[in-house]
Every structure is written in structure tokens, then in C-alpha cells.
Chains A and B, each alone.
Chain A
């Protein structure tokens, strides 16, 4: 069974995003970029399934600028077997990404497609569900545990009230939540080895998919700022404040 893992190059998790002064977006010039953290978890899960003998091949795919190659090389260094870059300088919305991935899946016929549940830049939380819809496949979103059996996969999901388990026929779409696993660091020898692993270069036109945006961003602003309040000296003063707020008798 093949596993397809889409990965996205995004602003690094530890960088505080700054809104551009002209209100057109977030300033990404000279900002550290990394693989979306949820996608790292997706790659890790796929590699573990290969190590267990459940999967035979792990294919990483990214849609984005030429530098998304770095993200794909990271995937290869972690243990993916080969990579596909669908290169475009345009911003592609989740619906367009899902349409491109659906075409990739038509070619690859993977048994599982594991995606991050959301990208930490646009926070949309849509692509996996959309891909499942376009392919007519079941979806196990926000996964914290994945167990593959013959012809099916059990996915334990993080939901508002706790955990829920669903059983899906395969092929299936899975989106990862934080507790699914802890992604490994790529070792130096594996980073070197990744350089010679195959990375296919494509464009959206190769797939004949219309990815023109449906949403127009009119402006991007900073959220209203909270200002630091007062520090109290001791518990008694805090109790007095709580009483003033009406939350303590």
C-alpha cells in the first residue's frame, strides 16, 4: 500500500507573524519557513506505517513555490521515498489544493492519504475533508490514533467532548492532530541520502485543474491589542480584585 502525504511550507511555528503596514497580508520576507507542524506528524505516521510493514511506499507532495522543495527534502530526510512538487507562485486555496491532490491520487492510487488537519498560516482546516469529498472517500479527521487492518482503518479522533473512534473503508483520508505521534528529527546521514531521492517537478497546468482563487482578501489587519494590566502584590489583593469582578463572594 502506498501512502500519500501532502506537506505545506509555512511560517515557522516559533515566529511571531507581523502584519504588513499596507494591510495586504503577513510579512514573510526574510522570515524562517518550515514544514507545517501537523504535516510533520503526517509524514511521521506514514513512515511508522512503512516501518511496521503496513505501507510499501511513502510519497510526499507539496504545492507551492520553488522553495517548497526544501520542505519536500525534509520529508525525504525523515524517511519518505519520493516527492512531487507542483510548483506555482500563486497562492492556492484549500479547494484548489484538494483538486490537485485528487489528480495526484488518480495517478498514484494510494491506500491512505494522510494530511495535517490545518496549516498554521491560513488556519482553514479544510483540505483533507475536501479531498475526501472530491474522491468520494471516507475521512478520519483530527486523528490521535490510526490502526490499519485489512481493507479498513480505525481512526481515533480528538473531538470537543473527548475521543471518538470511527472505522473507515480504504482508501481513506486521515488528518492528523497533535497527539498522533512525535515526529523524528532527520539524522545527518538521512539528510544526505535525501538529496538523491527522486523529486518530480510538475505544474498545476500538468493536471488541468483550475486553481483560480474564489476568495479575495480585501485587507489584513492586526487584531485589537490587549494591554497589560496591573500586577497585584499578594493573594489578598487578588481576592479583592476577584470580589470586585463579582466572581467571588
Chain B
């Protein structure tokens, strides 16, 4: 079989200076200096290891809170909240569309009361918290801020990330509510609000992860993600924000897939592209605006239901690529995730995988150890050039919002997904245990079951909250939010007021649905 990378580029059996004229010290620069292909810190992981941030959430806020305490006791160094589908879609647990989905794929958070429970006993000014929330990002973030306020933790000291990346929702994950333009306004409102009030918060995590999981190649993941980043910066600038005031808080999130070298090259190319685009296209002067910081998650899509213990090995190799590529934080998937949400034991083994890389392999001791490799530098340069071609195509559409409206990235990804499935079925791409080295042994591993009682509990808890809260305050703040959405004011203060009055995620999202309507994509295959 000819070796080939995931982006359909054939690899040669050997690379020399002839294939890689870029591999000279002058072209590469040093770690910690522009264009940062070799890393944003001169000392690599010498000063600080990556954050081991395991994405977790299921069932009720109480159950998830217990899992967080377990993960921190086991040596996890940051939290990462997974919300259930009703929360992600801005629907309360008692909405008809939420039936059967409450607490299934993440934790159910309907109001400030749930957020208080979720964060019980966690030191908010000492830990960093990442929240995977997009369409209702402003509402969930406001809940986090209000819990901090209740506990006397200063907003200026809070650190963490909200995903808040709506463009990749239209492109890949499809958890959108509103049309693109009002959605982009919510994003830039958060940029502006945080610049003034929560300066250490990462206001967005521009995500290639979901784009890749939906079927994109490494090149498409890189190109669409970075181009999304450019779109956010452009919308921020158009909203009147100075570049160096909000760009330093933009962070990224990439996938770690199977093709080991290509993945490492992808992270290096991403840093170099971002630095040069921020400097050249937007005239950013603050070097913090040039430095691309990113989280990585190993590729869920590569996990197999067949022979599930093989997934531990896949995840370890993918995680190693992320570390060699200089990731700033990392989530390693659990071996059972092609079957269900992870059990506590599987999640612990995934964390241990990171700890073995960090403390036993010796890999973190050297910054960018592949720098100057003929093959890696060739791949890095090719990915950069390929991404720039995609940037030009998307610019011709008028920008990413316009390209999305015309279905361009969606089609590119669906084409790649189909090609990749065909390659697996033709045996051109091997998946151990699926199309080679198969056996008939059943995948006999423990599976996490979400109790159906969770849904009933969340529904009755919500009914009690609606009884208990100050109805007049809830109605007043909700009306004020609805009214503000028709004008240009920053919506964050209005959302904070509604959250303090225990208005629910569904109620706030509905108020904005009234004003902005809902987005519907044209189904295409």
C-alpha cells in the first residue's frame, strides 16, 4: 500500500533537503518568535505542561459535579463542561423537542440554579473552566459569571473558555439557533464585554474539531478553522473593536487524528498562518494577537465499537502528536466512546494516558523536536500553502458567512467524508479490527447508562423554580432583553440581569427567537 496522508497527499519514502528548502534556520525562526511555527513559548513545556482538560458532563448537575471533583482529585488540571442537547439548542428540559434527550449527551443546565449546583465546591478563581456551548454561549457564560459574583470571585480573576464558535455549527456540528448575522452579533458582544470586564477569559474557541469529525481532511480542518478565525476578527473590527483589544483572547481547538506527522504539521502550520494573517491582514501590533493558542481533542471518529481496547492505543498516538505539535491543553477520549458516554473508569484511563506522555515519555523536555525535519517542514509548508488557497476561494464568496450560506464548506466536507468511507470499504484505508484483523468476539465492556429518571427530575426541578422565583423580575428582565435585541446595544448586561432573575436558557433563547427568527439549512446530500 502506498503511504498517504489523510489530506490525500502521497508521501515519498524519503525526504531530503531537495524536497524541503524551507528547512533552514533562517526560514523557520525560533520557538517563541514570529511566526511561531515552532511554538509560542521559547521554553516549550519547560515552564508549564499543557492543561489536562477532560471534557465531561452527563445527567444532573449533581452527578456531573461529583465527576468533576473526581477528575480534579485524580490530577486533572482544568474543567471542561459538556452540556446536553436541549441546553445546546436553547430548549428547556420540559420542551417537547427535549423529550428523551435530557442529560444524555451532557449535563442539563436550564437556569442559574443548575449552574450553582454544577459548580458547588469548585474554586472558581483557582481553576480554569472550559464550556462547550455555542448558540446559547452568552446565557451559559452569564450564569458562570453570576455564580462567581455570588461567591465573591472577581470577574477580573476568572479564567477559562467558552466555545462560542457559531460558524462551525453551520459548517459541521449544526447546533445553530439563529441566522448567521445576529449570531455573529452575539459573538462580538461577548468579545466587547469581556475586553472590559473579564479580561482573562478566552471569548471563543475557534474549532476545527467538529469540522474534522464531520469528515474534513486535515487541510480542510486547518483552512476552514483559520478562515473562521479571520471572519470573527473581521466582524469584531467591523463592530468597532480595536484588533489588539480582543484578538489576544481568541483561542483555537483542533482535532488529533491518525496521520501522526500530518497532524503535527497541521498545528505548526496553524500557528504560522495565524501570526502572519493577524500581522499582515489586520495590522495587529501586539504579539499576543499573533500567538495562536489551542486545545486539542483526540479524534472521536477514529474510535471503533469493534475491539474497543484498540482505542486506547489510537488515543495515545493521537495525543502524542498533539503534544509534539505544542498543544496548550488536551482532552484524550475514552475507549468506550463509540458505544456510549464514558464510564468513570474509562475516563480515568484516558487521563492516565496523558500523564504517561507527560511524565514518562520524556517528550515534553524538548521544544518542537521535529523542527527542521525535511518531511515535517515540507508537510507544514504544503498545509500552509493549501490553506491560503482555501482562504482565497472563501474570500471570493465574500467571506465565510457568505460561503456557508451557499453551502460551500458543507459540500467540501461531505465529499471528503464519502471518499474516506469508500476508501475504508475498498480496503485502501485500514482500520484495525474493522476491515482487517477482525474477530467475532463481542465488545464486552461496561457501558454508562443514563437513568431516565434524570429527565423527570430536571423537569420537576424546573417547575419548582418557576414557582419559586420572582415572576415580575423574570418577566421584566426578559422583556428588556427582547427589546434590546432589536437595537444595537451590547446584550451581555441584559442577559446577566435575566440570569440573576433565574430566567431559563429556553426562555432567553425564545425571546431572541422572537426577534431574530431561526435558521434552517437547505438539506443537501
Asked if A and B are interacting partners, one says: no
Q: Which residues of B contact A (CB under 8 A)?
A: none
